Amino acid sequence: MYLDLSHLKKRFSEKEVVQDLSLSLERGQLLCILGSSGCGKTTTLNMIGGFLTPDGGRILLDGQDITHMPPEQRPVTTVFQSYGLFPHMTVLQNVIYGLKFRAYSKAQAREKGAEYLRLVGLEGYENARIYEISGGQQQRVALARALIVEPKLCLLDEPFSNLDAALRVKMRQELKKLQRDLGMTMVFVTHDQEEALILADYMAIMEKGRLVQYGTPLDIYHQPADSFVSGFLGLDDLLWQPDGSVWKVVKKEVKGESPC
């Protein structure tokens, strides 16, 4: 497997936040780690990214043990919920920031930056300041900055949570297309069931630090592991694409109530 998490554990004081978590993912797939607040999903992401050290277990990426590797040495990038953009820099300067630590000339970096801005639909915004663009555009800048260094793995920590509902839907579609076009391996953390069902090739559902079910949206939809999974997902009607992925979540209308 391309990404392999084996018996990961993490404890804060007396609380075991992640308990013996094991899962694996093939190259080019998108994994959604899903669960309510405090379930351990962000802690798991931070261990993969190197921002937290596991108390047990190991992390393999493309055959390399990265469990104790510093984050700056890992072939992994992270898109945080807050985006972490530099407000004093232009859009292009933000996107190419990571290339300054690699063997790129200024001209090469600018050329590659322009290419990735085209990929995320921001051609023409090279010289704009971060405060001059919208939240959705800022999210695209953060994504381009994470992808331009061509990581082996891209981590995303609830990147759409600050966007309005309509823009979240649009960004999900754009992210999924971009991920498939680039063949990028991604781990996406969310508490949004609909988001996970639509984006994921595989879903890992967590509760109180435990992995309660791992599988494709199709598998989990038809065979929830227990009542927690069934209740947490709500199991609304789903519209499927020919490849078995979810195209749309159709909210069920409760009798006597108007739809949201």
- The pLDDT of residue 251 is 60
Question: Are 212 and 229 contacting, i.e. CB atoms less than 8 angstroms apart?
Answer: yes
First to last CA, the chain: 41
C-alpha Rg value of the chain to the nearest Å: 19
Phi, psi of 75 (to 5 degrees): -80, 50
Q: Distance between CA atoms of 135 and 22, rounded to whole angstroms?
A: 35
Give Cβ neighbours of residue 61 (< 8 Å, ≥ 6 apart).
2, 3, 4, 74, 75, 76, 152, 153
Predicted confidence at residue 226, as pLDDT, reads 87
Question: What pLDDT sits at residue 235?
Answer: 62
- Print pLDDT tens along the chain (260 aa): 999 999 999 999 989 999 999 999 999 999 999 998 899 999 999 999 999 999 999 999 999 999 999 999 999 999 988 878 998 899 999 999 999 888 889 999 999 999 999 999 999 999 999 999 998 899 999 999 999 999 999 999 998 888 888 888 888 888 999 999 999 999 999 998 889 988 999 999 999 999 999 999 989 888 888 888 888 887 666 677 777 777 777 765 444 333 33
pLDDT of residue 164: 86
Task: Report pLDDT for 252.
Answer: 55
193-197: long-range pairs with CB below 8 Å, 24+:
193/34, 193/232, 193/233, 193/234, 193/249, 194/236, 194/249, 195/32, 195/160, 195/168, 196/32, 196/34, 197/221, 197/233, 197/238, 197/246, 197/249
Tell me if 145 sits within 8 A of 95, measured CB to CB.
yes
Q: 170 and 219 in contact (C-beta within 8 Å)?
A: no
Instruction: Give the Å distances, CA to CA, from 216 to 26, 34, 203, 239.
Output: 13, 13, 6, 15
For the question of whether the overall pTM of this predicted structure is more than 0.85, the answer is yes
Decide: 64 and 6 in contact? Cβ < 8 Å: no
